[in-house]
């Protein structure tokens, strides 16, 4: 790793929900995590030194945790990276006392702001037991980035929104961002976030993270439209075929090349990489691109003692079908 080499050309972004560095334990139902810390494997899968901006959801924010540094230094490829964290809530993942979101960058981060998202107005009734539980706090971490040689102000945000489909109403019906109170809440969340970002007055904006099926509500910030970096045909970013890890940008930013989904064996969210060129004028959503489906390595390869899951990661663009609707997620 280097300590001061600056990069020119398109800005390179990597984002991931890392579940505190834990992998799924196969064969024990949805979202059962093995306790071993696999942070090094997430870092190895996300690249080696060619990222400018790293956004992490479900970051381990336990007291004394250095997970963001452990991910950022090999992925960005230098020591002394610039970091910002936002602890949001306790975590149900084994060995992780607190979780949140984080940003890391090879360039300085300024005007860092931590924004708590509103909770849903309906109770969280557990999908299986019907027990009422408190909503875990969700939020947005945003910072101003001023890359060398670019006099425009770029705001970059990492967000984790509420998984309303984890909740049921009193009749046992799953809440959804597609209908009823869930849809109204999704719209209200997007309006809240857009207002807070617009108030910062940035020239350009990148909003990325685990959006839990509500990315479709994020259409504008002020008078500017938002563009999905995946274009009109989003890929799967989870093993069960959903596309909930998204990146939206103001229309003055151009996506360079094809975004990349890294199918990491054992992870319940796949890391995503994309590149953005300096603003040169308005752009539109990318046209649908052909892509080849490639099965993720079996989750069993993430067991302790099995081959390194990062070595099993297969990088390829547009790896999966369009969004298949809400399922269980965090």
pLDDT in tens, 146-166: 777 777 889 999 999 999 988
Strands of the sheet containing 11-17, edge to edge, are 82-89, 99-105, 53-60, 11-17, 272-277, 254-263, 314-317
| CATH fourth-level superfamily of 11-317 | Endonuclease/exonuclease/phosphatase (3.60.10.10)
Supply the mean pLDDT for the chain. 83
**Stretch (H or E) spanning 71:** helix 67-72
Task: Note the pLDDT tens digit of each residue in 70-124.
Answer: 999 999 998 889 999 999 999 988 889 999 999 999 999 999 999 999 999 999 8
Model confidence at 204: pLDDT above 50: yes
pLDDT value for 152: 81
* Count of H-run helices and E-run strands, the chain: 4, 17
Q: Tell me how far apart the alpha carbons of residues 326 and 306 are, in angstroms, rounded to a whole number.
A: 32
Q: Tell me how far apart the alpha carbons of residues 196 and 111 are, in angstroms, rounded to a whole number.
A: 13
Report yes or no on whether pTM surpasses 0.75: yes
- Structure confidence at residue 129 as a pLDDT band (50, 70, 90): confident
Strands of the sheet containing 124-126, edge to edge, are 132-133, 124-126, 167-168
Structure tokens at 174: 């799953």
Phi-psi category of residue 203: left, alpha or beta, with phi > 0 → left and psi -120 to 50 → alpha? alpha
Q: Tell me how far apart the alpha carbons of residues 138 and 271 are, in angstroms, rounded to a whole number.
A: 20
């Amino acid at each position: 790793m280097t300590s001061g080499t600056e990069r020119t050309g398109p800005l390179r972004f990597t984002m991931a929900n890392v579940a505190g560095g834990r992998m799924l334990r196969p064969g024990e139902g949805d979202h059962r995590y093995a306790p071993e810390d696999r942070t090094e494997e997430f870092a190895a899968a996300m690249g080696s030194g060619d990222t400018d901006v790293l956004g992490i959801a479900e970051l381990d924010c336990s007291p004394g945790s250095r997970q963001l540094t452990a991910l950022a230094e090999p992925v960005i490829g230098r020591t002394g990276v610039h970091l910002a964290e936002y602890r949001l809530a306790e975590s149900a993942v084994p060995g992780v006392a607190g979780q949140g979101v984080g940003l890391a960058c090879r360039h300085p981060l300024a005007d860092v702001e931590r924004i708590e998202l509103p909770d849903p107005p309906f109770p969280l009734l557990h999908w299986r037991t019907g027990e009422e539980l408190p909503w875990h706090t969700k939020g947005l971490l945003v910072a101003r980035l001023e890359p060398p040689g670019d006099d425009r102000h770029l705001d970059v945000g990492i967000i984790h929104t509420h998984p309303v489909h984890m909740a049921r109403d009193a009749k046992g019906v799953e809440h959804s961002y597609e209908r009823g109170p869930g849809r109204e809440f999704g719209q209200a969340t997007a309006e809240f976030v857009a207002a807070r970002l617009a108030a910062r007055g940035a020239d350009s904006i990148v909003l990325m993270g685990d959006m839990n099926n509500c990315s479709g509500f994020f259409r504008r910030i002020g008078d500017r439209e938002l563009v999905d970096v995946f274009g009109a045909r989003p890929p799967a970013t989870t093993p069960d075929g959903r596309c909930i890890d998204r990146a939206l940008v103001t229309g003055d930013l151009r996506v360079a090349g094809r975004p990349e989904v890294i199918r990491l064996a054992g992870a319940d969210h796949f890391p995503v990489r994309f590149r953005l060129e300096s603003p040169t004028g308005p752009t539109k959503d990318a046209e649908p691109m052909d892509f080849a489906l490639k099965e993720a390595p079996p989750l069993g390869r993430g067991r302790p003692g099995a081959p390194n899951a990062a070595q099993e990661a297969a990088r390829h663009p547009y790896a999966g079908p369009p969004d298949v609707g809400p399922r269980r997620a965090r």
